[in-house]
Amino acid sequence: MFSSFLRRGVSAAFGGIRTKESAAVECLLKTNKQFSTVCKCTASAAHVDLQAVRGYAKHAKTEQKYEDFSSSDSDLEVLGHRGESQFWRRKMRTFHGILDVNKDGVISYDDFQLLADRFVNLGHLSEKHTKEFRKVIKNIWEAQWGEITPYNLVTVEQYLDDMHHVLNDKSRIKKAHAFLPYLFKAVDKDSSGEISVEEFKLFFNSLGLKETDASVAFLSIDGNCDGRISIKEFVNHGRDFFLTEDEERISKYFWGPLVDH
Ligand SMILES: [Ca+2]
Ligand SMILES: [Ca+2]
């Protein structure tokens, strides 16, 4: 399906007839060097319908307005009343599912460690960063759920409640996402300081998510279609997922498909 879309798009683009499809293809073709990478990315997501690809492109455009997320707190709901939308709760349920690595319905410190191990075992974190990463993970657990015991189990409802408290507490928001740069470094296989679509697939793999979903997420996050995601983009989008209640923000794709409810 995609190849015919590509042919159609290319002939339209080169024939001077500009359609939404051809614009998307032009974007994909923009950098020759990236051609194979991006096409591979899109081809592997070939089952994704064109509407979706167009939708992602549209969102990517919208998102460029929010390039600097350092001020993103300002467009949040008033402190104390954040995290009350169904959309935000749906996102948090999605993330609870990711953290529940052994899929027994609750998050335990074991799940946390299993997840951290997957990233450490990729072998791209230095010894120093591995130590820091494990410390950050431990601090997050202790700050949010206290004691580390096999009996301290976090249900979906408790997770929603706790994340709601974090979202409404400025000092806790600041510390809650300190793990993100380590995930970036762990999947930046060639230490280039940027994430390619292949490296982004490693990220999704480590989270227990599908590679095809990684391709779609990558296309939407890589707003300028250059086939790379910087650490700033990665951290900002990853963090924005937890902070925003705006359904238009592309950060909603960052941690894979959202659960239905
Ligand atoms: Ca679990
Ligand atoms: Ca890289």
Query: What pLDDT is recorded for position 73?
Result: 52
Residues with a beta carbon under 5 angstroms from ion ligand 2? 188, 190, 192
Nearest to 165 by CA among 149, 143, 150, 180: 143
CA–centroid distance, residue 229 to ligand 2 (Å): 9
CA–centroid distance, residue 131 to ligand 2 (Å): 21
- Single pTM value for the model: 0.73
CA–centroid distance, residue 186 to ligand 2 (Å): 10
Query: What pLDDT is recorded for position 225?
Result: 87
Ligand nearest to the CA of 196: 2
DSSP state of 194: E
Ligand nearest to the CA of 230: 2
Query: What pLDDT is recorded for position 3?
Result: 41
Residues belonging to the chain: 261
Domains of the chain: 2-64 (no CATH), 69-253 (1.10.238.10)
Strand, helix or coil for residue 220:
helix
Query: What pLDDT is recorded for position 13?
Result: 34
CA–centroid distance, residue 228 to ligand 2 (Å): 8
2 token code pair:
């995609």
Full pLDDT tens readout for the chain, 261 residues: 444 443 333 333 333 333 333 334 334 433 333 333 333 345 334 334 344 444 444 444 433 333 344 444 545 667 778 888 999 999 999 999 999 999 999 999 999 999 999 999 999 999 999 999 999 999 999 999 999 999 999 999 999 999 999 999 988 888 889 999 999 999 999 999 999 999 999 999 999 999 999 999 999 888 788 999 999 999 999 999 999 999 999 999 999 999 987
Nearest to 21 by CA among 8, 34, 32: 8
99 token code pair:
């953290």
Phi and psi of 178, rounded to 5°? Answer: -65, -10
Taking the alpha carbons at both ends of the chain, their separation in whole angstroms is 31
